[in-house]
Chains A and B, each alone.
Chain A
């Protein structure tokens, strides 16, 4: 089996946000370590799922990849080009290939603009397809994502949550990108509508040979769409693996706890389950614990974990596709 080449490569990406005090002499008193050294590759045509709890840095990472945030350190290589320090002007052609959709279908659409002009925005920014041609392309996009093209002149308020998410998707697809970052695209939607949008995203991937980075906190949703999954905790990737492997044989204790914490819509399964309930809350990214960031909540922690940060590397017979950052992974004595 040949592995598709990496379309996107992250090398040791770091994003710190300074915390400043003082009114005249602004001093930086601390750093929020939102993303703290992430290396990942996304292969052409695949869906990489990115899971983690609030504050794990997954959304900040998405904003770094799309350069909506500047990096503190590290490199982002997209389609062979290092984009981590490109100027706004030089980024513009890259943005045609690299698009993002957001969680909130209410906040991400301008309420005063008509749907047609919202979806046409990328054409305007990149000075593509004018006049009747633009209108035609927009209506094609609306049809592609399952909206009625006759609703071209309506305002966002006239659409339901699911339909608004379709508008966001149409806008992101306008320039035929190669990589689409989906940041919690279905979290705000009701179950019956969520399934409609997930099916749409899967269909579009087949039709347009898209590559996805799919960020979500719902593990069953991530499992449904992903080929590989990366788990983040406190700004770091703690485990990456092909989807079935990570769900069946998680190595990192945090991955295992996260999987077992998810409520299952099946009474028998939920009665049978051995739940790992973690103590405490995730620690603050301002002052992450030394050593392994997970050790204060970990049920397998040993003295070494508090001192030495584990490297993200394959354990046991897992193979190069399944690295874990843990000194004492599950399945090892």
Chain B
């Protein structure tokens, strides 16, 4: 059984300007001890999807199914959901400053997190908090446990939040851009810590990031999101080496060559245009207005995820032929050769 299995999740928000369709039919699953990377730009729906699973969105229309250890999350009564949230599922958010209460000691906040889920005497919970801070690499945890958040640096605050997320031995940790606010050398420390936690504790991790580098570093399985939809799913090597969806290809091409690459890239090849408005989505494939391979049918029919040739389990929501995978010139040729062929629609 999968640890978490999400099927056809859709989330929309009624607003004065119209219905904002933030997530439109996303499916993915996570196995125990696995790291799933979800990558996408602002507004792609990656954070909303996660918050919805945890019952943290208000006033949204939600449909679809989400099974965590076989239990349905989306129609779970609030008290039960509370036991899952912060219990069997830990959370780490982007901003380590606003996620901690400034007027309570760090240790006190971890103790609260423990006692919200377990009948533990305060003293024992305090000892556990020290142990957790040690686990995440806070030096002299016996003393630092009594510090206030402002006495911690950004990296240490993020470590403290990870400690809090681990407080009740979760099976799954959802980390939403956990290193985005941190400096490069501190980011490297936190990524290493998350990898270690998965190896030592066997915790599954969902890592949400806009940074393809971070995803390449930690994820086993990668979901690429665009305009509230899954554009592509594959293992990390396939996503970076043999991508199928033109959006993934475009993202990879937009990047300057990595700092330690042998050659400096020439002119960058950005994706033209802007992501669509989630209130007024284009018909057909949401990416077609920015896609250089767009065919007639892309304007009319939205493609579903289907298997493509990059590797086992590789799926892409694109009408291009299944063998048009990769970053090479010949792959490019196959994509361009596909041409407009309206008859291919099912």
Contact = CB atoms under 8 A, between A and B. Distances in A.
Interface of A: 53-54, 160-162, 190-196, 198-199, 202, 217, 219-221, 223-224, 243-244, 247, 257-270, 273, 275, 277-278, 281-282
> What 10 pairs across the A-B complex have the smallest Cβ distances?
A263-B213, A195-B270, A224-B256, A195-B254, A53-B183, A265-B212, A261-B188, A192-B271, A190-B41, A219-B259
Contacts of B188: 260-261, 263, 275, 277-278
A274 B314 CA distance: 30
Interface of B: 41-42, 153-156, 183-189, 191-192, 210-217, 236-237, 240-241, 250-252, 254-261, 264-265, 267-272, 274-275
A199 B272 CA distance: 12
Given A195-B268, A265-B258, A270-B216, A190 B210 contact: yes
A264 B211 CA distance: 9
A330 to B, nearest CB: 14
Contact of A217 (B184, B191, B212): B184
Given A195-B270, A258-B185, A281-B186, A267 B241 contact: yes
A281 B144 CA distance: 15
Contacts, number: 138
Given A191-B212, A223-B257, A262 B184 contact: yes
Contacts of B236: 267
B217 A263 contact: yes
Contact of B185 (A193, A261, A270, A273): A261
Contacts of B154: 54, 281
Contacts of A244: 264
Nearest to A54: B183
A248 B216 CA distance: 22
A54 B183 CA distance: 7
A273 B260 CA distance: 10
A220 B217 CA distance: 16
Contact of B251 (A192, A220, A273, A278): A192
A202 to B, nearest CB: 7
Given A221-B256, A223-B259, A264 B41 contact: no
B256 A198 contact: yes
B183 A263 contact: no
Nearest to A192: B271
B67 to A, nearest CB: 29
B310 to A, nearest CB: 13
Contact of A263 (B156, B186, B216, B270): B216
Contact of B184 (A160, A190, A199, A219): A219
A107 B242 CA distance: 39
17 contacts: A53-B186, A190-B42, A192-B271, A193-B270, A198-B256, A217-B184, A247-B259, A259-B259, A260-B260, A263-B187, A264-B258, A265-B212, A265-B216, A265-B258, A270-B216, A273-B260, A277-B188
Nearest to B182: A54
A54 B184 CA distance: 10
A202 B267 contact: yes
B274 A160 contact: yes
B255 A267 contact: no
Contacts of B186: 53, 281
